[in-house]
Structures are given as C-alpha cells and as structure tokens.
Amino acid sequence: MATPVHDLPSMYGRILRQLREAKGRGQAEVARTVGISPAQLARLESNQRGLYVEDFVAIAEALGEKPGNLLPNDLGVIGHLKPLIDRLVSVRPEYLARVSSIISQIVRLTEDGAAVARLPVEKPSRKKNPAAAPKGRR
C-alpha cells in the first residue's frame, strides 16, 4: 500500500490541477497515463483524497515536470524532501511500492528512535561488582 505524504500541504492538488490545465491536458488523459481513474485524479486535485508520493511523482512526470520543481522554495520543515522527490522520478514504477514500504520502515524507526531518545537515562550504580574484582584480592 502507498504511503500518504501527511506533511504536504493541501495546496498540492491545486498545483497539480493548475499545471495540468496550463499544459492543456485533460483529466482523463493524464489519469490514463498515470494509471488511475479520472475520478481519482479529480479527488486528488480537489484535495478530497490524500496525496501519495507515488501519485505526486507520477502526475508531475506525466505532465513533463520534475516533481521537486513543483514544490515552492519556502517549504520550511519539509524542504529537505525536494531532492528526495526528484530522485523518486528515476525509480521504475514497479518498484515504487517497495520504495514506499522502505520509507515507511525508516519513518517508524526514526519515530521509535525519537521515543527512545526521550526516555530517562539511568545513572550507573556506584556499587562495585564483586565478580569483577581482580583475582588474588580478597
């Protein structure tokens, strides 16, 4: 299953629609090229459906654009995604589901790591371990 891009603002459906219209392309034509239904594309463009990285990349590519070029320069905390999205364009479509799964695993590991980093750290005990005492001293 695809991974939603929760951090992308809802304006990206509108950006994709404006780009498609500026290029004189119809929803049905672009949807066929991308492999989704025209109704799905309409829901994406009207922000009635979550935007997935795969959809964003595929639609941008179908419209002849690098996905990163569609992202404004003032993205703030998600600005680091521009190079990643540009690299996703080179991933063959049959591998996008696997790439999405790997990204999901990385995100989970990162979130787990952040939770672990917030746990209090126990200070080591000052008691000496008698088993660790050097031999010959008793």
The tens place of each residue's pLDDT in the chain, 138 residues long, gives 443 444 455 677 888 888 899 999 999 999 999 999 999 999 988 888 877 777 888 888 899 988 777 776 655 556 667 677 777 778 888 888 888 888 888 888 877 765 555 545 455 555 554 555 555 554
pLDDT value, residue 73: 61
pLDDT value, residue 122: 53
Identify whether 61 is part of a domain: yes
Residue 23 structural domain = 11-118
Identify whether 2 is part of a domain: no
Q: What is the DSSP string of 27-91?
A: HHHHHHHHTS-HHHHHHHHTTSS--BHHHHHHHHHHTT--GGGGS-S--GGGTTHHHHHHHHTTS
Identify whether 125 is part of a domain: no
Identify whether 55 is part of a domain: yes
pLDDT value, residue 97: 85
**Positive or negative: CA dihedral 16, 22, 27, 33:** negative
Q: What is the pTM of this model?
A: 0.50
Identify whether 49 is part of a domain: yes
**Structurally, how many domains does the chain consist of?**
1
pLDDT value, residue 6: 44
pLDDT value, residue 56: 83
Identify whether 97 is part of a domain: yes
Look up the CATH number of the domain holding residue 43.
Answer: 1.10.260.40
Identify whether 4 is part of a domain: no
pLDDT value, residue 39: 94
Identify whether 3 is part of a domain: no
